[in-house]
Structure 1
């Protein structure tokens, strides 16, 4: 084994690490030296969004120690940045294996550094974390999730006081502070438990009320409250809020896919818990066909992405891609707000550079400004912050199956997106049309855009003859 890797292994075997960790390292030494090398050949990088990686022992894995060191660095930067304030953070997690443990580890380290922590009582959607940061007046936050990655992965996403993920200069500055933490002995692991407050139902209610306030046509929902909806949380956090939100909107005919209802970090019914994949949505599609539903919706494990299935004009079920979903959602809010008389002269929408140009055509056709930013919702959130008080943000989104409706949260939100998409279906049904009919109508008006999604999974590999790139 490479000498530098061996030195790291020896540090963990001789250092202040728990016995289970050391025993796992010894097991890898005797049974799988390639896996051991991959686990230690580098330090898991804290990037501009945080951490994401395979769970396991070692410096290149998601575990208590890599998360603790990252949190210590982030805590140091928060205390530097808000030296004149009592620093507060909010913490949430998804349904993945070890997510609760990672969230509690993060909470304990923040608390031991004298930071006030608001920790959700159990799994919650990522967008609710963004909402909680803003609602509770926090300076930062963390959600433990690997979004739609395979079950072996977990992650750690860091947020700033606006409820958005880290942007310059804070992203690079946090990375510098994290890189200064060279040992687990630099981490304050415990001693501040009194700084932790458990949150849950109160924030849920405030969040649900906020989402309900996004509805443009509640009277149309009342008229079509029997809209037949099939929803799958794909073993994730969506189950905690999506059914409640749909009920609060007034939908009374919601069918949850039983096989995928229970939160489970092993995601037993799918290869990847990604609503962008047809295979992942296949059980929901079968249910929608069986019930002759009006609409199918699926959310990923942390409920920030949404997939949608509708019937085409031949009665066949088709899955919308992210661009098509965005076009339908953007158009609905622009069209419905104008029709309702609540559109404002300074309305704006925001999308990213990887999203269909049809969004620009929609904006022009409706007389609103469309801003394009770099890929990722943190840049949409940053644009909202820059335009606050000058222009009225309506909706943002991109082709990655993400929508962000209204400015009360600053990250993509599949919970509010599900509700909006169902309201859209009711709105079109009231006019004797389907969402597919509406999409064709928009293509005729603005021009036909066709895209296809190809997902390529590349797993890191290592053998005795070749190092990882």
Structure 2
């Protein structure tokens, strides 16, 4: 770090910062975190730059850098990178994360030694941050297994299990913009850390003073850091390939890793099992943390825009399917041609329903499905999967909070031998027991097998989705969100959650709200009275689920509301259902539901804006 020469003392700097709080240029929380960095010896190397920022009165930047101690959310610690700050990803917060993980593991286990696995994706600084994390874990006495090259998140989860590790860490910010990075912490199961471990780790992070560290190259020479690569990755791909359920391979398509690591996992698995008609979309294959050839440089396969470059090529080459994985290749997006020859982007709910139906049908056909087998989904994932699962004669477990770590936890609690499939609406899919996190590779394998089988019957994934709607009812789901950045945004999210709880909307568009299930207070309240009608015991989390009915329509709608655990957003999930008595009625049902939901979404956003203006 370039060391400026500030002309003020730490006392003068704190006086300036305190005055900025009084003038509402700096939040109180930012001041408290800033004070630690200005006065405590473990932050000495950052203090000249910090004093200079205060002298320059860069309080807007300082609030961004310090408004919180970046927490462990649903996907670990993730956020904006900067050279310093408690609220951002930087060398210190990465070192603190690794230290917190090691210190908590040793305290919890009573052991002074152990084993850890570390991997990183292709993001800016991912390699550097991974080396820092490894150096800290090794200094704590753990033997570290370190992937030499960029790898996917499921490969890290696999490595933790395969190598018998006690903990693991993945350096990634998933599908976030180039400005971001993060630290995902894993436990010995191969799943991301869960309560109480997550809070235990963050407590150790906050207590961190001087952090032990060893030289990375020296540790490699001494064997405390052991380099791994294809020896483990090859075993991972073999385990994914073992979950093939079909020999159908005639399919023409494109795969894009969106400048991430998906070619090492998704594409190689597809090639290994014989999908020779799936080709790489070369303009987005280079591993590059700036994501230069992805529209808006936002590599999120949930966005329609990311597929446009690949669609242009696919339309010229006759491809029938487009697959996209996010930068750390744990999520998979799918586009497929409709009957008119246009590419349609499937949602995670639609892909999850298709894959659940596929594997349940295959296991039923070979006689391996029993009533004890189960499918797992989160509370914001489509009810269509529950209907499909029950129809197949298997169990559905769908009362989980948002986060794939809860699906992993359920696998181990219920017994992995009866686990069929786990999925969440944000493009996450998993089968088998080889890892405990979502995996784009297994999603791609099954999506291609199903598409190839349907092609041989003259059908597409969209045709089969319509067949599921006729059998189980039409389901329309989606998500909208409002971005609220920094300390001010955090307060806006808090205000919105309070408003939804205390003075919830009575009507939006054609929808009238009838009840709300509050997962924080563990109660069901009748609306519009907002009085308690019933209580329940779990799961507990900051989520609200509203139920509504449409006037003069058989349509029923649910609305889920929750703050994001990994992004500065409040998210709104909607789920609409309507029975379909016959195939000929489906088009009309779709059109009616879509019109109702579009009106509802506009009314929802108007209510949000009005609530923020009046609060």
- Which TM-score applies when normalising by structure 2? 0.70
Q: Is the 8 A contact 1:92 1:144 kept in 2?
A: yes
SS at 2:478 equivalent:
coil
Q: Distance in 1 between matches of 2:300 and 2:43?
A: 39
| Residue correspondence of structure 1 range 249-264 to structure 2 within 5 A | 249-264=273-288
Superposition deviation, residue 346 in structure 1:
2.7
Of 310, 325, 338, the match for 1:299: 325
Residue 543 of structure 2 aligns with which residue? none
Shift in alpha-carbon separation, 1:459–1:172, aligned structure 2, 3 A: closer
Q: Distance in 2 between matches of 1:418 and 1:293?
A: 15
Q: Is the 8 A contact 1:43 1:60 kept in 2?
A: yes
Q: Distance in 1 between matches of 2:184 and 2:43?
A: 27
**Residue correspondences, number:** 456
Q: Does 1:133 align with 2:160?
A: yes
Give 5+ residue unaligned stretches, structure 2.
1-15, 19-30, 495-615
Superposition deviation, residue 290 in structure 1:
1.9
Q: Distance in 1 between matches of 2:442 and 2:42?
A: 49
Of 348, 355, 361, the match for 1:329: 355
| Residue correspondence of structure 1 range 245-324 to structure 2 within 5 A | 245-269=269-293, 270-271=295-296, 272-324=298-350
Residue 216 of structure 1 aligns with which residue? 245
Q: Is the 8 A contact 1:28 1:35 kept in 2?
A: no
Shift in alpha-carbon separation, 1:15–1:132, aligned structure 2, 3 A: closer
Q: Distance in 2 between matches of 1:457 and 1:281?
A: 23
SS at 2:306 equivalent:
coil
Residue 127 of structure 2 aligns with which residue? 100
**Cα deviations by residue, 1:243-277 (Å, 9 ceiling, x for unpaired):** 21111110112221121111111111232110000
Residue 365 of structure 1 aligns with which residue? 391
Of 409, 412, 415, the match for 2:441: 415
Q: Distance in 2 between matches of 1:119 and 1:125?
A: 13
Q: Does 1:207 align with 2:236?
A: yes
Q: Distance in 2 between matches of 1:467 and 1:343?
A: 48
Q: Distance in 2 between matches of 1:25 and 1:358?
A: 56
Of 104, 113, 130, the match for 1:77: 104
Superposition deviation, residue 36 in structure 1:
2.8
Residue 168 of structure 1 aligns with which residue? 195
Q: Distance in 1 between matches of 2:261 and 2:277?
A: 21
Q: Distance in 1 between matches of 2:114 and 2:206?
A: 22
Q: Distance in 2 between matches of 1:456 and 1:400?
A: 17
Q: Does 1:402 align with 2:428?
A: yes
Shift in alpha-carbon separation, 1:430–1:346, aligned structure 2, 3 A: farther
Shift in alpha-carbon separation, 1:178–1:316, aligned structure 2, 3 A: same
Of 20, 25, 35, the match for 1:7: 35
Shift in alpha-carbon separation, 1:247–1:234, aligned structure 2, 3 A: same
Q: Distance in 2 between matches of 1:10 and 1:467?
A: 29
Q: Does 1:348 align with 2:374?
A: yes
| Residue correspondence of structure 1 range 136-147 to structure 2 within 5 A | 136-147=163-174
**Cα deviations by residue, 1:207-251 (Å, 9 ceiling, x for unpaired):** 11001100011x223xx2xx1111110011102222211111101
Give 5+ residue unaligned stretches, structure 1.
none
Superposition deviation, residue 29 in structure 1:
4.9
Q: Distance in 2 between matches of 1:48 and 1:41?
A: 19
Residue 449 of structure 1 aligns with which residue? 475
Q: Which has the larger radius of gyration?
A: 2
Superposition deviation, residue 34 in structure 1:
2.0
Of 138, 141, 146, the match for 1:119: 146
Q: Does 1:383 align with 2:410?
A: yes
Shift in alpha-carbon separation, 1:431–1:261, aligned structure 2, 3 A: same
Of 89, 101, 118, the match for 2:116: 89
Residue 419 of structure 2 aligns with which residue? 393
Structure richer in strand, relative to its length: 2
Shift in alpha-carbon separation, 1:41–1:173, aligned structure 2, 3 A: closer
| Residue correspondence of structure 1 range 229-244 to structure 2 within 5 A | 229-244=253-268
Q: Distance in 1 between matches of 2:92 and 2:403?
A: 28
Superposition deviation, residue 86 in structure 1:
4.0
Superposition deviation, residue 455 in structure 1:
4.6
Residue 227 of structure 2 aligns with which residue? 198
SS at 1:453 equivalent:
strand
Q: Is the 8 A contact 1:461 1:468 kept in 2?
A: no
Superposition deviation, residue 433 in structure 1:
1.4
Q: Is the 8 A contact 1:12 1:22 kept in 2?
A: no
SS at 1:167 equivalent:
coil
- Which TM-score applies when normalising by structure 1? 0.91
Residue 92 of structure 2 aligns with which residue? 65
Q: Distance in 1 between matches of 2:52 and 2:310?
A: 44
Q: Is the 8 A contact 2:67 2:486 kept in 1?
A: no
SS at 1:241 equivalent:
helix
Which has the bigger relative contact order, CA under 8 A and spacing at least 6?
A: 1
Superposition deviation, residue 432 in structure 1:
2.3
Q: Is the 8 A contact 2:484 2:493 kept in 1?
A: no
Shift in alpha-carbon separation, 1:348–1:14, aligned structure 2, 3 A: closer
Superposition deviation, residue 48 in structure 1:
6.1
Q: Is the 8 A contact 1:102 1:144 kept in 2?
A: yes
Instruction: State the superposition RMSD in angstroms.
Output: 2.5
